[in-house]
Chain A
Amino acid sequence: MLTAFILILAIVVFFADFRGMNRQSTVNKEIVFSSSLLGIGVILGVLQLFQVPLPSLMTVIEYVFRPISDWMTVMLK
C-alpha cells in the first residue's frame, strides 16, 4: 500500500526533473537511461505489490560462498 504511494511519488518527482531536463535540451542518452531505470524500478515495485517473489541475490551468494565459510570456520575453531 505504502509502496504504491511511494512509487507514484517517485514518478511524480521524476517528471518534475524530466521537464527540467527537456527544457535544457540535454543529451538523449540521459533521458533514455534515467527513464529506463525508472521503468525498471516501477516494474519491480509493481511486482512486489502483487506479491510476486523477486529473485534475491543473497540466496545465490550464500549458496556459492557457504562452503568457503564452513571451511574457514572449521579451520579457525
Chain B
Amino acid sequence: MNKTGITQRQATMWFTLYQLGSALLILPSSLAAYSKQNAWLSVLLTMILFIVLSPLFITIAKQMGDRSFHNYLTGMMGNVIGKTVMVLFLIAFPFLTFWLVLKDLSNFVTTSIFPETPPEAVHALILIAVVIGVRAGVTVIGRSAELLFFIVILLVAIGFLSLLPVLRFDYLLPMLEGGFKPIFHGSILLLAYPYLECVLYLFLVPDFQDASKWKLSLMKSTLTSGMIFLIITVTVVAALSEGVTANLVYPSYFVIRTISYADIYQRFEIVVAILWYITIFFRLALLLHVVTRGLADAINIKNANKLVIPLALIGFVMAKEVLPNVPSVITAFEVWPYYVFVFSLILPAILLMLGWMRRARGRNGTPT
C-alpha cells in the first residue's frame, strides 16, 4: 500500500465533502432565484452536463500519467510559459476561491450565529485547523475525510429528514414553468460552483495509484454530492416555497430553524453550522494544498510545507479585503461562473489540444 498516497475511497469522500462545502448554504438561494421552483431540475441538469464534460478532465488525468500538474503544464507549454501560467492560475483561481470561501464562512457566522464575533476570529480559528491539515499531508486529510464523512451524512439526514412532515410538494409545481432556459441558467451556476472546480482535483492525480482510480473518485463524488444536493434543494424549496428561498441568503440554515416538534426537538440549526464547518474545512484544505503544492513545484522546492503558513497568512489578510459585505457576494456570484469557465473549461481544452498536437507530432517521429 502506498503510504503517502490516498485511496480511491478517501478521495471520493474528500471530493464529495468539498462539493458540499459552499454549495450547501448558498446555492439553494441562487438556484431558486434563477429557476424558481424548478431548482431541483437544475441540479439534475447539472449532473448530466457534468457527465458530458467529464471526459475533458479524465483525458487530461490520463495524459498526466504520474507527473504532477506542474510538470504536465511545463511539458505542454515549455518551462517559462508553463511556470508563468501556473503561478497566475494559482493566484487567480484556487487562491482567490480560498479567500472567497473564508469570507463566506465569516459572513455566515457573523450574521447568523455569533453577531458579535469579529470576522478575523472566525478566519483564524478555521485556518489553524486547515494549516495543521495541509501540513499533515494528503494522506491524513484523506483518512480524516473517511471518518468525518459519516458524521456529515448523519447530520444531513437528521437535519433534512426532520423536515419531511412539513414538506409541501405543491411548492415544486408547476414544473418547467418558464421553460428550459431558466433551468439551464441555474445549472450554469451550479456547474461552475462547485463542480467545475474539479480541475483542481487534477493536482491530486500523482497521489493515486493510477489515473483510472481518479476517474472513479471524480464520478462517484459528483454523483453522491449531486444526490445529496438534490435532496437538500427539494427539501428547502418544498418547505419554504421558491419565493422565500430566493430571498433568503442562507435558506438551508433558515429551514432547519423552522423545525420544532414537541418543544424539545427544535432550534438545532447549529447542526447545519457544524456540518458546514466540516465541509468548508475540506474545501479550504484542498484549495490551500493546491496552492502550496503548485507554488512549490513552480519554484522548484521539495518541501511544500514551508510555504503553508505564509500563504495561509496572506489568505487570512486578503479574505477580509476581497469583498466588503454580504450583498456584494450575491452580485459577484452572478458573474462568477463565467470567470470559472475560463480556468476550468478553456484552460483544460487548450491543454488537451496541446496534448493532441504533441502526440500527433510524436507520431511523425519528433520526440515529445
A adjacent to B, CB under 8 Å: yes
Interface 1/0 per residue, A31-57 and B, CB below 8 Å: 101110110111011001000001011
**Contacts of B182 on A, CB cut-off 8 Å?**
76-77
Give the residues in chain B near A42, CB-CB below 8 Å.
313
Q: List 19 A-B contacts (CB under 8 A).
A: A7-B313, A14-B310, A26-B303, A30-B306, A33-B301, A34-B307, A34-B310, A38-B309, A41-B311, A41-B316, A44-B318, A56-B323, A57-B92, A57-B96, A61-B332, A61-B336, A62-B331, A72-B338, A76-B185
Q: Report yes or no: B321 in contact with A48, Cβ–Cβ below 8 A.
A: yes
Q: Are B332 and A3 in contact (CB under 8 A)?
A: no
Q: With A37-B311, A41-B310, A76-B182 given, is the CB distance from A65 to B321 under 8 Å?
A: no
B309: which of A13, A33, A48 is its contact (CB, 8 Å)? Answer: A13
- Say if the beta carbon of A29 comes within 8 Å of chain B: yes
A37–B310 touching, CB < 8 Å: yes
Interface string of B255-296 (1 = CB under 8 A from A): 000000000000000000000000000000000000000000
Q: Are B307 and A37 in contact (CB under 8 A)?
A: yes
B114 to chain A minimum Cβ distance, whole angstroms, is 14
Tell whether, in the assembled complex, residue B301 and residue A27 are in contact, meaning their CB atoms are under 8 Å apart.
yes
Interface residues on B, range: 35 or more
Across-interface contacts of A41 in B (CB, < 8 A): 310-311, 313-314, 316-317
What's the minimum C-beta distance from B103 to chain A, rounded to whole angstroms? Answer: 10
Of all A-B residue pairs in the complex, the 4 with the closest CB atoms, nearest first, are A37-B310, A41-B313, A38-B310, A65-B335
Q: Does B69 contact A (CB under 8 A)?
A: no
- B162 to nearest A CB, angstroms? 35
Interface size class of A (residues with CB under 8 A): 35 or more
Add 18 more A-B contacts to A7-B313, A75-B181 (CB < 8 A): A2-B120, A3-B320, A17-B306, A27-B302, A30-B301, A34-B309, A38-B309, A45-B313, A48-B320, A48-B321, A57-B96, A58-B322, A61-B332, A65-B338, A69-B334, A72-B185, A76-B184, A77-B182
Determine which residue in A27, A42, A76 has the highest number of CB atoms from chain B within 10 A of its CB, and name it.
A76
Assess the B311–A45 pair: CB atoms within 8 A.
no
Contact B335 A76 (CB under 8 A): no
Q: Is the CB of B313 within 8 A of A68?
A: no
Contact residues of A: prevailing secondary structure: helix
Residues on the B chain within 8 Å of A66, using CB: 335
Closest chain A CB from B188 CB (angstroms): 7
B-chain residues with CB within 8 Å of residue A73 when the two chains form the complex: 185, 334
* Minimum distance in angstroms from B41 CB to a CB of chain A: 14
With both beta carbons as reference points, the residue of chain A lying nearest to B96 in the complex is identified as: A57
Q: Tell whether B55 is near chain A: CB-to-CB under 8 Å.
A: no
For residue B300, CB closer than 8 A to chain A, the reply is yes
In the complex, are the beta carbons of B339 and A61 less than 8 A apart?
Answer: yes
CB-based contact B338/A33 at 8 Å: no
Contacts of A31 in B (CB 8 A): 306
* B266 smallest CB distance to A (angstroms): 34
Determine which of B92, B124, B185, B300 lies in contact with A2 in the assembled complex, contact meaning CB atoms within 8 Å: B124
Contact A45 B92 (CB under 8 A): no
B362 contacts A by Cβ under 8 Å: no
Q: Are A68 and B311 in contact (CB under 8 A)?
A: no
Asked whether B335 lies within 8 Å of A62 as measured between CB atoms, the reply is: yes
User: Within 8 Å CB of A62, what residues of B?
Assistant: 331-332, 335
CB of B183 to closest CB in A, whole Å: 9
Bound-state Cα–Cα, A69 to B321, Å: 24
CA distance A6 to B92 in the complex (A): 25
Closest CB of chain A to B322's CB: distance in Å? 5
Give the nearest-CB partner of A14 in chain B. B309
Contacts of B317 in A (CB 8 A): 3, 41, 44-45, 48
Q: Is the CB of A65 within 8 A of B120?
A: no
Query: Contacting A69 at CB < 8 Å: which of B96, B300, B322, B335?
Result: B335
